[in-house]
Structure 1
């Protein structure tokens, strides 16, 4: 499967989830604001400039229609940096399994890492997570970063990450 095909599949799944309205069960309504830690591999699929990747996100607990706000920062072992903010949606499969899709524009600097062709890069993401009783989650995440051809070059990249989300109140108190 080509990278282009993967991108199209991810975009189609995100659109279907958004259009379906992702019904929200009562146990999903009480999800708090989450602080998310991520670690993984930058440029994992194309393997041109593979590097270690780490990220931190804050995911809002308040919903507008089916969307929640989120923002974060990602860095790589090659000195690349991406700061972003956007929307996400959670799709619940029972109490425990959560599929999350997100989209966020952001500012990118390549450092000594992979040049992505422009300072403005768009991040699309998908995460499959297990949700614990305290609302924390552990999951696997795939991110795609691309400038949508607004730059002279648009190589794009994929990042595979392990994620752990915990209620912000557990870190900073109520």
Structure 2
């Protein structure tokens, strides 16, 4: 599948999860977490994990990265706000804000994120512009103390609002710690 088709399929899946979140019924099995603690997330992993060509004059390398993210505990219809920052070892970074929801089943939590923000390339990947969209999907195991640990994948794209859309994919280990305790 071409990069553009993959981006639209991934975007549609994230958007669909977020829109259908309030419609899912609480009860046994799969449910939307309506409230609870705010979370501070730390992700460590690979920037440009898929190795997509970065553009003229830049190396096509996968770089170590860190992702710091704050998710609000307050939600409206199961959807909360998210604020984040990521940085790679070649001076590239992105600040972003957007929306998220938590879909839980037993001790597992699936968290889609739809965000937008500003990207600075540094000596890293060329993404054809500062304004970018960010899509994330994490699957975490939630422990009894409400902390979570799991795997996160993410994609940065300008959604073809520029002439080209090189895109960038990430994979990382994610740890989420609750900042306040509430009901879930």
TM-score (norm 1): 0.88
For the aligned residue pairs, the C-alpha RMSD in angstroms reads 2.0
Query: How many residues are aligned here?
Result: 169
Structure-to-structure mapping, 1:39-50, within 5 angstroms: 39-47=44-52, 48-50=60-62
Q: 2:100 aligns with which of 57, 76, 88?
A: 88
Q: Alignment partner for residue 54 of structure 1, among 42, 66, 76? A: 66
Counterpart in the other structure of 1:65: 77
| Displacement of 1:83 | 0.3
Structure 2 partner of 1:136: 147
User: Comparing both chains, which one has the higher relative contact order based on Cα–Cα distances under 8 Å and sequence gaps of 6 or more?
Assistant: 2
Name which of 163, 168, 172 aligns with 1:161.
172
TM-score normalised according to structure 2 size: 0.84
Equivalent runs, 1:1-174 vs 2, <5 Å: 1-20=1-20, 21=22, 22-24=24-26, 28-47=33-52, 48-94=60-106, 96-169=107-180
Distance 2:156 2:2 in 1: 16
Structure 2 stretches of 5 or more lacking a match?
Answer: 53-59
User: C-alpha distance in 2, partners of 1:23/1:113?
Assistant: 44
Superposition misfits of 4+ residues, deviation over 3 angstroms = 1-6, 22-30
Distance (Å, rounded) in 2 between the aligned partners of 1:14 and 1:108: 21
